[in-house]
Amino acid sequence: MKEELKNLVEMATEEAKSIKTENDYLNIKSKYLGKKSKLSEYMSSLKDMTVEDKKKYGPLFNKIKNDLEALFTNYYENAINGEEKITFDPTIPADEKNGSLHPVTIVAKEITDILKNIGFMVLEGPEMESDYYNFVALNVPKNHPARDMQDTYWLDNGALLRTHTSPVQARAMEKYGAPIKMCVPGRVFRNEDLDASHENTFFQLEGMVIDKNISISNVIYVMKGMLREVFKQDVEVRLRPGFFPFVEPGFELDCSCTICNGKGCPTCKNSGWIELCPCGMVHPEVLKMSGVDPEEYTGFAFGLGLTRMAMMKYKISDIRGFNSGDLRFLDQFNVR
Ligand code: PHE
């Protein structure tokens, strides 16, 4: 019986491939599933079987019936759809709704274009990163307390989802050496609880310049120039001390509030300043580990929050809209 059933299914499967029309479909259905079909014969023989056989064959017959039915319908539908494609009328006007760029993409392009104009390369790095590039090469050895600053998603294979775009600092120095001017827009991941201003997946833009005689005044100059272009107005910047193991000295860079021009408003919490990005002089150890001689070269780096920039530029108050895929949110940025 098992053998017979197997043959039956094989034959039906083979024959199903030749379904082209509705007639083929109805014929094959009646042949294999109709009242006079072999399968029906088997099914009616159920009543004469022992209880044990009934339990064994009842469900099996049903399954074969359902499977074949689905198979025939599937072939039939494919045949019809294929036919539809052939009769497709290319003169019918297309749906005119255009897609749009994501707000972070717009801001990333704007900023990388500005930096490209002053000689920066635009680079990429992997989102699945090694412990070495995400931490060790950035002067954060194993068991260093600074690792707690970044809530890391570790992967089963020992790698991690990069917590910042800074690993590309090391990758770029290894690959291109010094002098170098580069920027890296990219997605980063942190194990954070979500709320209106926290996401576990967001975007940064890393910038780094290594050359002879680079000092912190170069950071100020580049950032001021860049922000002037982005916000289409002059902005002031100021530095406050900040700690990151891969820069020395390290700073938090603030810019004058573009909403109230420094007079004080709810956005800048009446301080007139907005915290924009951490930055600093690349730590000599970091240069050394990536093969750049700290006696000869110095450099600065900054890590701009791209998602934050997009929020400022488009006055978006809830960060969760960015990754929601909600078209009502995304359609507002209909720039192509
Ligand atoms: N990578 C740091 C962060 O994401 C930011 C940073 C970049 C700080 C470059 C200094 C220099 O927290």
pLDDT in tens, 209-266: 999 999 999 999 999 999 999 888 888 999 999 999 999 999 999 999 887 888 888 8
Domain match, 160 and 34 both: no
What does the pLDDT read at residue 267? 76
Domain match, 286 and 188 both: yes
Ranked by mean pLDDT, which of 69-83, 134-148, 243-257, 259-273 comes out on top? 243-257
What are the backbone dihedrals phi and psi of residue 223, each rounded to the nearest 5 degrees, phi first?
-65, -40
pLDDT tens-place string over residues 196-209: 888 999 999 999 99
86 located within any domain = no
With bands split at pLDDT 50, 70 and 90, how would you rate the model's confidence at 148?
confident
250 located within any domain = yes
Higher pLDDT, 221 or 316: 221
Domain match, 169 and 312 both: yes
User: Under DSSP, is residue 171 helix (H, G, I), strand (E, B) or coil?
Assistant: helix
Cα of 190 from ligand 1 centre, angstroms: 14
What does the pLDDT read at residue 88? 63
What does the pLDDT read at residue 186? 97
Domain match, 211 and 288 both: yes
196 located within any domain = yes
What does the pLDDT read at residue 157? 95
CA distances from residue 201 to 99, 112, 162, 187 in whole angstroms, order as listed = 23, 20, 10, 7
% residues pLDDT > 90 (the chain): 49
Q: Which atom of ligand 1 is nearest to the CA of 207?
A: 9
Domain match, 138 and 282 both: yes
Domain match, 10 and 141 both: no
97 located within any domain = no
CA-nearest residue, atom 5 of ligand 1: 303
In degrees, rounded to 5, the angle at the alpha carbon of residue 248 between the alpha carbons of residues 247 and 254 is: 75
88 located within any domain = no
3-class secondary structure per residue, 126-154: CCEECHHHHCHHHCCCCCCHHHHHCCCCE
Domain ends where: 27, 51, 81? 81
What does the pLDDT read at residue 147? 82
Domain match, 6 and 145 both: no
What is the model's pTM? 0.71
156 located within any domain = yes
Range of the domain at 49: 2-81
CA-nearest residue, atom 9 of ligand 1: 302
90 located within any domain = no
Q: Taking CB atoms and a 6 Å cutoff, what residues make up the pocket around ligand 1?
A: 164, 166, 244, 247, 250, 278-280, 301-303
Domain match, 274 and 126 both: yes
Count of domains for the chain:
2
Domain match, 51 and 139 both: no
pLDDT tens-place string over residues 17-63: 888 888 889 999 999 999 889 888 888 888 889 888 888 888 888 88
CA 248/CA 242 separation, integer angstroms: 9
Higher pLDDT, 89 or 83: 89
> How many CB atoms within 10 Å of residue 15?
16
Q: Is the pLDDT of residue 87 over 70?
A: no
Tokens of 129: 């990163």
Q: Is the pLDDT of residue 116 over 80?
A: yes
Rg (CA), the chain: 32
Domain match, 109 and 174 both: yes
Domain match, 21 and 113 both: no
pLDDT tens-place string over residues 277-309: 999 999 999 999 999 999 999 999 999 999 988
The CATH number of the domain holding residue 293 is 3.30.930.10
What does the pLDDT read at residue 321? 87
